[in-house]
């Protein structure tokens, strides 16, 4: 079947006897080579150190996605709480969208649940700075520590 995943992988993969792709020079070819070694059970040919680093990096990306979604929700919550006269449907919709992202990241990565408090703390530091920039208020107008619980972040009702 033309265009199938296997056809694409075969077309994109280096030849049967690839020149060892250098991790720093050609990341794409290195990834394809590592995937082939894994599929073929050639564990001795794996670049274990760099492969482990890349797998850990994928885990950090998932954590960062959670932090990012939390940051946007808290940014809008801070603006909502400190600029009542400027509340908008756009803020509500952004909160709803980011809440879906939070739910999706946690559903796809349940191992992140024990790190929610850490993610909230990281996200709040940035949300506070962004809220100060976007509102024109001094950063000290916003609490130094996050005033929102995870339940507030995912369940608090917002309506105009």
Burial of 13 (0-12, 13-18, 19+ CB in 10 A): middle
End-to-end CA, the chain: 53
Q: What is the pLDDT of residue 22?
A: 80
CA-CA distances (angstroms) from residue 114 to 106, 109, 110, 123?
A: 10, 11, 9, 16
Say if CB 73 and CB 122 are below 8 A apart. Answer: no
How far is it, in rounded angstroms, from Cα 30 to Cα 14?
9
Which pTM does this prediction carry?
0.79
Q: Which residues of the chain have pLDDT under 70?
A: 1-21
Burial of 69 (0-12, 13-18, 19+ CB in 10 A): buried
Say if CB 36 and CB 15 are below 8 A apart. Answer: no
DSSP 148: -
- E strand residue ranges, the chain: none
- pLDDT tens digit sequence for 72-109: 999 999 999 999 999 999 999 999 999 999 999 999 99
Q: What is the pLDDT of residue 25?
A: 86
Q: Which residues contact 148 (CB under 8 A, 6 or more apart)?
A: 74, 77, 120, 124, 156
Q: What is the pLDDT of residue 3?
A: 47
**How many C-alpha atoms does 15 have within 13 Å on its Cβ side?**
3
Q: Which residues contact 137 (CB under 8 A, 6 or more apart)?
A: 82, 83, 131
Q: What is the pLDDT of residue 97?
A: 97
């Amino acid at each position: 079947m033309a265009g199938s995943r296997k056809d694409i992988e075969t077309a994109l993969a280096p030849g049967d006897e690839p020149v060892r792709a250098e991790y720093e020079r050609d990341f794409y070819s290195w990834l394809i080579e590592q995937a082939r070694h894994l599929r073929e059970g050639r564990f001795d040919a794996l670049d274990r150190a760099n492969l482990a680093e890349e797998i850990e990096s994928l885990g950090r990306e998932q954590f960062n996605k959670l932090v990012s979604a939390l940051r946007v929700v808290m940014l809008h919550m801070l603006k909502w709480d400190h600029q009542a006269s400027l509340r908008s449907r756009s803020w509500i919709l952004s909160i709803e969208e980011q809440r879906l992202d939070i739910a999706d990241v946690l559903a796809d990565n349940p191992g992140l649940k024990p790190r929610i408090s850490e993610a909230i703390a990281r996200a709040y530091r940035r949300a506070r700075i962004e809220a100060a920039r976007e509102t024109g208020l001094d950063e000290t107008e916003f609490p130094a520590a996050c005033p929102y619980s995870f339940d507030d972040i995912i369940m608090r009702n917002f309506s105009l």
